[in-house]
Structure 1
Amino acid sequence: MSDDQRDRREDGRPEQARPRDRTGRPLPYGTTDVPLAEEHEPSSVEEALRLGVALWNDERFFEAHECLEHVWHAAPEADADFWQGVIQVAVAGVHLQRGNLSGAISLFRRAAERLDPYPDVHRGVDVEQLRVACTGAVAALEDAGAVIEVGFPRFPAMDDGPWFTPDPAALEPPTAPTPIPDEPVWLAAGRAREPRRRDA
């Protein structure tokens, strides 16, 4: 498909208008005979997190990762790897559902690496449970040499969580909703620190 034939949003950016199955695979236009992935448009980062957790627990990992990306994009730099690690566990679930053994193993490994520097409980998430689930899944999948049931965990939330904060020093969630950013906060922060080039 050429660039001028792609589905586009009103602002001209590319958009996938084709229906997708629950694992995110594009389907032919007009498909209605299989469960389809739904579009979710949360109004705040906190709503995106609630939706992501609910979809994860329904084993709708593709949709969960889409919602959780809003959380990752809004995260301060100190939490960016944490939320990306959480998302990578969801994406590993997508690979399992698609029967992609190497993709699942790779994502579980990368998620465990990203989550490793964080404390056992962070932002109301049982990080230790996620790390153990990742390493256990990798071992089971490698041992089997095939996609098998690995006992994918429900979202490992503590009693008070999970919760998001734009303040890396915060010990509790904010009282006001956090708007969904137009671009990743951590990306903008990285650009702001880049030294300016002098004109030659």
Structure 2
Amino acid sequence: MNRTGRDRDEEGRARSARPRDGLGRPLPYGEAGVERQPEGVVRTPAVTVREAQRLLDSGMPFHAHEVLEDAWKSCPEQRAGERELWRGLAQLAVGLTHAARGNAAGGSRLLLRGADRVAAFGGRPYGIDTPGLVAWARELAGRLEGRGEAAVDPAAEAPRLLG
């Protein structure tokens, strides 16, 4: 924390140093939390998918979202069209995060938004099962409709990224 009372990273950007739980929710200072994913890591698509799947399977979709967000934001200019794929995958992970936190309406909206982005990439770029992910997201979003604040189990609902 700096002299203004706000947490900052090394570059001076606002970034909460509070520990987080497995769904990315802030915990009180001093409590044990889940280690955050480092930001700005450039990974190959295969490593990105593998790490995101590991986190999804562990019930940590918020952390998977951060890995997928890195792929979206660091996608090289020569593959700029691919950014929307990674952005859509990140939205699927954060949609599952909201559903796991009990925010069914927000989770459903993000799942459908992500599904629409991923659907534009028919086939299996990098082995990613885009048709299966779109079906998974739309099915889960449908189950969330009208659910209120009942949370889902993020590990039990985790999608398979590779077909």
* TM-score of the superposed pair, with normalisation by structure 2: 0.82
Closer, same or farther in 2 for the Cα pair 1:9/1:120, shift >3 Å? same
* Contact 1:133–1:152 (8 Å) recurs in 2: no
| Gaps in structure 1 of 5+ consecutive residues | 159-200
Bigger CA radius of gyration: 1
| Gaps in structure 2 of 5+ consecutive residues | none
Which stretch of structure 1 is more off in the superposition, 135-144 or 67-76? 135-144
Quote how far apart the aligned CAs of 1:6 are.
Answer: 0.6
Q: How is 1:97-112 mapped onto 2 (pairs within 5 angstroms)?
A: 97-112=100-115
Partner of 2:50: 50
If each structure's helix is expressed as a fraction of its own residues, which one has the higher value?
2
* Contact 2:49–2:161 (8 Å) recurs in 1: no
Partner of 2:25: 25
Partner of 2:134: 131
Deviations 1:123-157 (A, max 9, x none): 21000000001111122222645536486243321
The one-letter code matched in structure 1 to 2:17 is A
The one-letter code matched in structure 1 to 2:157 is F
Partner of 1:154: 159
Partner of 1:40: 37
Quote how far apart the aligned CAs of 1:11 are.
Answer: 2.4
CA RMSD of superposed structures (Å): 2.5
* Contact 1:8–1:14 (8 Å) recurs in 2: yes
Partner of 1:186: none
| 4+ residue segments displaced more than 4 Å | 143-146, 148-151
- Matched position secondary structure for 1:4: coil
Identity %: 31
Pairs aligned (count): 155
